[in-house]
């Protein structure tokens, strides 16, 4: 059982850097306001409270971005980030828009570069591709990778339940694969990595599994604190309930909001290798880099997920950050942050070639 709120807050403050504690505590406060007991969500207020930034066609610190609708039928939009090209700093409106048009119509590049399809977190309910924290993270990924990041503004629950987020992720993958300007190298292939944090990590897994089923080549998966669950509680869920920002009650609400109305937490979306799930042995599932925070109450589930992939014969590297909480990768103020960014860079470089 969770301890008192005051005890938990004091313990959390001794571990988490102040800026991270303030950032995630503010999120938790707003999230508690937005969730209704009947399973609905204060969407209008949530959109108002979500700190967002616009795309910037004019480069900012060497990275430019723009928003692009890839599926008109559902209004699916992505935010595309890339390193600034020579001439992007010219003056005038034409100088800002021309690089975007040239990029969208460009031929495959000679030098290989990674394309990271990123799915933001927020437990399937909160945040967006334009949320400030995820805009900043995607910019860091561009600088790390020297490639392109496609951040997916997938449909959110409870208005759009399972499998909407997975369908949007699959649409984004197919779109990236079909675009000549996303291809590179002598073989002119799209060198795609799937990544996400929290619910985004869950989406990345399910999109990767579908890609393996359908023979679509993915170079690698990068999961940060991926959100998995199950009906039976794990040891870490019982031990860390309420201690570091997240409670089991929170998680249960989000799963109820996303899963089909008659489903429990052993649904394959939540518990992919559970009693109702399926294994991935014999499928060409991509290599995985799995980032686990030791103070995330679902850390046992993430480690069990990695073990199941290994048992099925797939390549997995786990980076377990023992003293990290959820969201530690959003701010560059811990040793764990820098360790993980280096691991991501190494993983991208090691798996860029087919």
**Within a domain: residue 18?**
no
Q: Tell me the residue range of the domain where 266 lies.
A: 36-82+97-351
Evaluate whether 173 touches 204 at the Cβ level (below 8 Å). no
**Token pair 């939540």: residue:** 270
**Within a domain: residue 336?**
yes
**Within a domain: residue 346?**
yes
Mean pLDDT score of the chain: 93
**Within a domain: residue 76?**
yes
Residues 119 and 124: their CA atoms lie apart, in Å, by 10
Residue 110, pLDDT > 70, answer yes
Residue 84, pLDDT > 90, answer no
Three-state secondary-structure class, residue 234: coil
**Is 130 in the active site?**
no
Evaluate whether 248 touches 297 at the Cβ level (below 8 Å). yes
**Within a domain: residue 4?**
no
Evaluate whether 258 touches 125 at the Cβ level (below 8 Å). yes
Residues 281 and 329: their CA atoms lie apart, in Å, by 31
Rg (CA), the chain: 20
pLDDT tens per residue, range 174-221: 999 999 999 999 999 999 999 999 999 999 999 999 999 999 999 999
Residue 169: which H helix or E strand, with range? helix 164-178
Could you please report the per-residue DSSP string of 121-140? -STTTS--TTBHHHHHHHHH
pLDDT tens per residue, range 122-180: 999 999 999 999 999 999 999 999 999 999 999 999 999 999 999 999 999 999 999 99
- CA terminus-to-terminus distance, the chain: 48
Catalytic residue among 64, 184, 198, 199: 198
Determine which of 40-44, 81-85, 216-220, 246-250 has the lowest per-residue pLDDT on average.
81-85
How many structural domains compose the chain?
1
Evaluate whether 167 touches 71 at the Cβ level (below 8 Å). no
pTM of the model: 0.94
How would you classify the pairing of strands 288-293 and 220-224?
Answer: parallel
Q: What is the CATH number of the domain that holds 321?
A: 3.40.50.1820
pLDDT of residue 86: 62
**Within a domain: residue 178?**
yes
Q: Hey, which residues does 80 pair with through a beta bridge? A: 66, 150
Angle, CA of 322, 338 and 148, to the nearest 5°: 120
Tokens of 306: 């990695």
């Amino acid at each position: 059982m969770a301890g008192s709120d005051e005890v938990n807050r004091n313990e959390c403050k001794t571990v988490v850097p102040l800026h991270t504690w303030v950032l995630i505590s503010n999120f938790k406060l707003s999230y508690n306001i937005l969730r209704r007991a009947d399973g609905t969500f204060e969407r209008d207020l949530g959109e108002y409270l979500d700190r967002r930034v616009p795309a910037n066609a004019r480069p900012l610190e060497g990275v430019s971005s723009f928003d692009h609708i890839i599926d008109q039928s559902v209004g699916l939009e992505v935010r595309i980030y890339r390193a600034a090209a020579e001439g992007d700093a010219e003056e005038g409106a034409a100088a800002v828009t021309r690089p975007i048009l040239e990029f969208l119509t460009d031929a495959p590049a000679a030098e290989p570069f990674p394309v990271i399809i990123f799915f933001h977190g927020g437990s399937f309910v909160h945040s967006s591709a334009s949320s400030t924290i995820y805009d900043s993270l995607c910019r860091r990924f561009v600088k790390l990778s020297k490639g392109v990041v496609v951040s997916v503004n997938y449909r959110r629950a409870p208005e759009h339940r399972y499998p909407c987020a997975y369908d949007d992720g699959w649409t984004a993958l197919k779109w990236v694969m079909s675009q000549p300007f996303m291809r590179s190298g002598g073989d002119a292939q799209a060198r795609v990595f799937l990544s996400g944090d929290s619910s985004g990590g869950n989406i990345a897994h399910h999109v990767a599994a579908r890609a393996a089923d359908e023979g679509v080549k993915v170079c690698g998966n990068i999961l940060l604190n991926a959100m998995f669950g199950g009906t039976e509680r794990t040891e870490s869920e019982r031990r860390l309930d309420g201690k570091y920002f997240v409670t089991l009650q929170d998680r249960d609400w989000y799963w109820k909001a996303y899963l089909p109305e008659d489903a429990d937490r052993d649904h394959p979306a939540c518990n992919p290798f559970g009693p109702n799930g399926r294994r991935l042995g014999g499928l060409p599932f991509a290599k995985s880099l799995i980032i686990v925070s030791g103070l995330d109450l679902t850390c046992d589930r993430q480690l069990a997920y990695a073990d199941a992939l290994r048992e099925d014969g797939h390549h997995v590297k786990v980076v377990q950050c023992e003293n990290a909480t959820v969201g530690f990768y959003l701010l560059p103020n811990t040793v764990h942050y820098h360790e993980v960014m280096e691991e991501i860079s190494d993983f991208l470089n090691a798996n860029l070639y087919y």
